[in-house]
Chain A
C-alpha cells in the first residue's frame, strides 16, 4: 500500500468514526434520560411500558449502528471484496420495512411499499444491501414530518442494465446549505478532503460506501416538500443455458 493510499484510508476511517459518533449520541441521550425519569418512580404503567419499549428500540438502533460500522470498516479499511449473487430487491425492502415499521409508527409515519408485480433481481450481497437500504429508510424516518408517508419503490433505471430503488420522504424543507452538505457527502467519499462527510450521520455515509462496494450508485434529488434518494444496482444477467442432447 502506498503512503497516499494509506492516508486516504486513514481519512475515511476518521469519517466513519465521526459519522458513527453522531448516530450514537441520540439513543444514548434517550436511554439515559428515560432511565432518569423511570428512577424517579412516578410513572404510570402505560408510560413505564412505553419507556421500556423505547429503550429496547434505542438499543436495537445502537446494535444496528455497530453492525454498520463493522460492514463499512470491512469495505473502507480492509478493502474487502464482496461475494455478489443474484438477489431480489423486493425481498430486501420487505425485510427492511418489517424491521423499521415499529420505529416509523413511533414517529407517526407510514412506510409505503410500491413494489408492484415485477421483481427486480440485482447482483449484490444480501447483508450489505440490506444494511445500505436500512440506513436510507432509517434516515427518512428520522427526518420526515409526523403523519407523513415514506414511499419505497423499486423500478427499472434509465441507466441500461440497472435497477433503481427510490425512497421518497416528506421533510420540513431542506435548505440549500443542507442540500450542499448532502451532495457533499455523496460526492466526497473519494475526495482527498473528507473533513465532514460524517456530519449527516452514519446513514448516508454508510449507504454511499456500501453501495459503491456493490458497484452501485447513490443519488438524491429535491422533490416538492421533501427529498428522493435512490440506489441503482446492476441487474443480474440471466444466463442463456441450452440443454445439450
Chain B
C-alpha cells in the first residue's frame, strides 16, 4: 500500500511515515495542501492520511479539491484532528460522498492503530 500523509507538523508526519514503513508499506509526506497536490500529480497513492488543520488551505478544502478531480475523487481518506470526533456534526453519507472513510482523534489513536485502520480501508477499496 502507498500512503500520502498530509500533516504540517514535521515530527508527527515522520512518526506516521515510520509507522507505515515499519509495517511494510510505502509512505510519502506532504507538509501542506499545495505540496500534497503536487505529489499526487506525480504519483498514485492508495490512501490519504489528512490533517484537518493545515497552513494555507485546510483539510476540508483539500477534500473538496480532490473530489473535483476524477483521478483523485475515489482515493480513500482518513481525516485526522486534534479535536474529539464527537465535536464534528458530519453525517456518514456526507463523509462517504467525499471518500472520507474515518475521522480519527490524534491523541487517542496510535500509529499502529492508524496503520491497521488504513490496511482495512485499503483492502475494502480493492
Contact = CB atoms under 8 A, between A and B. Distances in A.
Nearest to B82: A25
Given A26-B12, A173-B55, A146 B31 contact: yes
Interface residues of A, number: 29
A33 interface: yes
Nearest to A173: B56
A37 B18 contact: yes
Given A171-B55, A173-B55, A30 B15 contact: yes
Contact of B55 (A40, A54, A107, A143): A143
Nearest to A142: B9
Given A37-B22, A172-B55, A26 B111 contact: no
Given A33-B111, A37-B15, A172-B32, A146 B10 contact: yes
A127 interface: no
A175 B57 CA distance: 8
Contacts of B57: 175
Contacts of A171: 55
Query: Is the interface on chain B under 10, 10 to 19, 20 to 34, or 35 or more residues?
Result: 20 to 34
B125 interface: no
Given A30-B12, A172-B32, A36 B18 contact: no
Interface in A146-183: 146, 171-175, 178
Contact of A29 (B19, B56, B106, B112): B106
B87 interface: no
B91 interface: no
Nearest to B111: A33
B123 interface: no
Interface in A30-59: 30, 32-34, 36-37, 40, 42-43, 47, 54
Contact of B10 (A34, A42, A106, A174): A106
Contacts of A106: 10-11
Contacts of A26: 9, 12, 82
7 contacts: A28-B107, A33-B15, A47-B18, A146-B10, A172-B32, A172-B34, A174-B56
5 nearest A-B pairs in the assembled complex, by CB-CB distance:
A36-B110, A29-B106, A172-B55, A25-B82, A33-B15
